[in-house]
A and B are shown apart, each in its own frame.
Chain A
Amino acid sequence: MPHQHPVTIIMVEDDEGHARLIEKNIRRAGVCNEIRTFTNGTAAIEHLFSENVRNDGPFLVLLDLNLPDMNGVDILAKLKSDELLKRAPVVVLTTTDDQREVQRCYDLGANVYITKPVEYESFSQAIRQLGLFLSVIQVPETQ
């Protein structure tokens, strides 16, 4: 049964340092789910829209907007317009707190928007909250 699978975390992040820091903090928060990292949008979409992945949820997407090959917003839109993938929660993680961009992401169906703060403490804090969030969303998915 697909819903009995643990949630896979799909991270789309071109900055390897960011990816590493995020992963570290997720682990520190006690989240042990599998994390798959993609450093560009094309690879991430290819993976997500492959038939076995698309039908084989559940997963959570951590999405950076500033990608080398495309804008993360386009990925968000694509996911949210897909019948199956739209159920996957999307956490937008980006460096800007531009209000228009935040609003746009929420309009497209983003579940959480997290600004990557320079102060590391608040960043880790945010990631840990995300871990808490992950544990919460895992409940309905496992039902």
Chain B
Amino acid sequence: MGMNEAYLRATMRTREELVGRNMFEAFPSDPDSASHKQLRGSFERVIAEKVTDHIPLISYAIPLPDGQGFDERFWSATHTPLFNEAGELISILQHTVDVTELHQLRNLAKTSALLTGPSALIETDMFRRAQAVQEVNQSLSKERQHLQELFEQAPGFIAALSGTDHVFTMANAAYRQVVGRNDLIGKSVREALPEVVEQGFIGLLDRVHQTGEPFVGRGVRIVLQQSPEDQPEEHFLDFVYQPIFSRDGTVSGIFVQGHDVTDHRRAENALRESEERFRAIANSIDQLIWATRPDGFHDYYNQRWYEYTGVPEGSTDGVGWNGMFHPEDRELAWKTWRRSLETGEPYHIEYRLRHRSGEYRWVLGRAQPVRDDEGRITRWYGTCTDIHDLKQAQEALRESRERALQSEEETRRLAAMLAERVTELDAANEEIQRFAYIVSHDLRAPLVNIMGFTSELENAHEEIETFYGKVSEAQPALITPEARSAIESDLAESIGFIRSSTVKMDKLINAILRLSREGRRVLVPESISMDQLLEAQRQSLAHQLQERGAELIFENIPHITSDRLAIEQVFGNLIDNAVKYLDLARAGRIVVRGRDLGHMIRYEVEDNGRGIDEKDYERIFDLFRRSGTQDQQGEGIGLAHVRALVRRLGGTISVTSRLGQGSTFTVTLPKYISVSSEAA
């Protein structure tokens, strides 16, 4: 408190008693009394509204200076707010007049007949008026306070602006909260909220002020900095700028009313974002996605659905989806879907969906319900996945399996036929071998006789010659030229031819016998070192090679698992032939080489000998057939034997040659001889 002399006199106090003290400490009163409330209310109004407040009449007792009780006083007071340069309220100026005497006079007039004169009447009338004003004021004040409380507590923000500068005359708590400051009253919007100047609001206010047209804003974005330290914050407001008209129809101010819808807006934004995100995800997924209401009404399809089916957006909403499926699948799809809707069980179906190409493609349809907190279905979310290729692959696999089974059966049938045929051939082969054996055996028996009796004839011939000699000495006349010729030359000549023929025949029979025996020999597979085997053959041919000045070269020869005896005979015969039929006009050169072909090994026996005429390529492998100049020993058995052996080992033999340049025999044999190769 600070005060002037008049104030000290009126209140019967010294300056020292009052300076620096609170009004209600210096002049205590019952806080519940009407006078206390009246005074305090006036101060609060000034503080809150920063406007001058009047108390026309207040009864406020002043404690007596000697502390002996209170002096009943009546006052009339004006409270004026005082501001500093920053516009802040720093103090309230109380201009008070002691009207106690006037009040006492009035009371006296009420009770005394003396005061019925005009002056007393005037006094009384004046007082009554003052009192009436006071009462009206009090009632107004109450109403005003009530309104102000309502205004203050209103959930929406409310402010009143006055003048072309839009000076705040009112701003409720919600408003102050939105803008984040309290010191608005008496300030222009420009001063109070400098950060909104650039956001277009001043312009809006100006326009409302100029045109008298209200402005309604919905979800308007505003950035507010609630204090210099704070970060600017984004708000969204729904508001109305309502012009306030004065009596003459001009705009005196603007009434601002609205709601901060930031949270609502944020929720909306979040929802929209979430929806956008869902759509983005839904559209980025390769699957067709759809959603329905709880009653099964389709109200959403992702972009892929429309791309896939090629139908216009929205055309499959509701129950239109069913028509997109293959006519044969529609009923099942409908039933399945209805059942899911009724039971809430997940939807699961494979059906054919019409692709934009017109083709019906197999898709896997699935859907799941989404339920709320009380377990009620709120939506169904479904997908369709193209499984056409998979389905076709499965189908193809199944068909191919069936085909494989069929072909396996066919193979088995063929194998059985083949086995049967092989058995037949084996039997035939066996028959031939037995035949060859028997034939050779049976041919030999008469041959033994021919030879035997030829010998007997020779013996007889000797006897006859002795006898003939004696006769020609004793009785030369008995000797006719025919007898001489028969005994001296014909007999010997005939016996000679018989002998040479039987020798030849014996050799042929032996050859057949050998072949037939070879065919019956059991093959014994073993791992054969070809280097060693061939080296042994070189040793046995060393003499012939030296004689003919020929070289025998072995190049990189893969080893083999086969029948040793057969392999020895094959290579023995081929190398022997090569040596035998060298061209003596040039240095002989025989090369044996081999190459691993995986399952087979190819051997070559190459010579630079006489060569074989192309027409004889097959013939040389036939029994008793030979080719070229017949100047070498042999019966034409070697190559026939070799071919029989190679075939038994499961291989092949062929020859290429150029007459006068040399021949190459190519033998291809299985790397591992097997029992089955023998069967063939």
Residues of A within 8 A of B (CB): 15, 17-18, 21, 24, 66, 95-96, 98, 116-121, 123-124
Contacts and interface: CB of A to CB of B under 8 A. Distances in A.
Given A15-B449, A17-B449, A98-B517, A118 B455 contact: no
A68 to B, nearest CB: 11
A38 B445 CA distance: 17
Contacts, number: 53
Contacts of B454: 120
B452 A17 contact: yes
B436 to A, nearest CB: 12
Given A118-B503, A118-B506, A95 B445 contact: yes
Contacts of B453: 17, 21
Interface string B44-76: 000000000000000000000000000000000
Secondary structure at chain B's binding surface: helix, strand, loop or mixed? helix
B448 interface: yes
A16 to B, nearest CB: 9
B513 A120 contact: no
A64 B452 CA distance: 17
30 contacts: A15-B445, A15-B448, A15-B449, A17-B446, A17-B448, A17-B449, A17-B452, A17-B453, A18-B452, A21-B448, A21-B452, A21-B453, A24-B456, A66-B441, A95-B441, A95-B448, A96-B441, A96-B444, A98-B517, A116-B448, A118-B444, A118-B447, A118-B448, A118-B503, A118-B506, A119-B451, A120-B452, A123-B451, A123-B452, A124-B455
B502 interface: yes
Contacts of A21: 448-449, 452-453, 456
Contacts of B455: 120-121, 124
A118 B517 contact: no
Interface size class of B (residues with CB under 8 A): 20 to 34
Contacts of B444: 95-96, 116, 118
A123 B456 CA distance: 12
B322 to A, nearest CB: 87
A98 B512 CA distance: 13
Contacts of A18: 445, 448-449, 452
Interface in B426-442: 437, 440-442
Contacts of A120: 451-452, 454-455
A96 B513 contact: yes
Find the residue from B442, B452, B506 having the highest chain A CB count within 10 A.
B452
A1 to B, nearest CB: 38
Interface in B504-559: 506, 513, 517
A98 B437 CA distance: 10
A11 to B, nearest CB: 15
A89 B377 CA distance: 112
Given A17-B448, A18-B452, 8 more contacts: A66-B441, A95-B444, A96-B444, A98-B437, A116-B448, A120-B454, A123-B448, A123-B451
A17 B453 CA distance: 8
Nearest to A28: B459
Contacts of A95: 441, 444-445, 448
Nearest to A99: B517
A96 B438 CA distance: 10
A117 B513 CA distance: 14
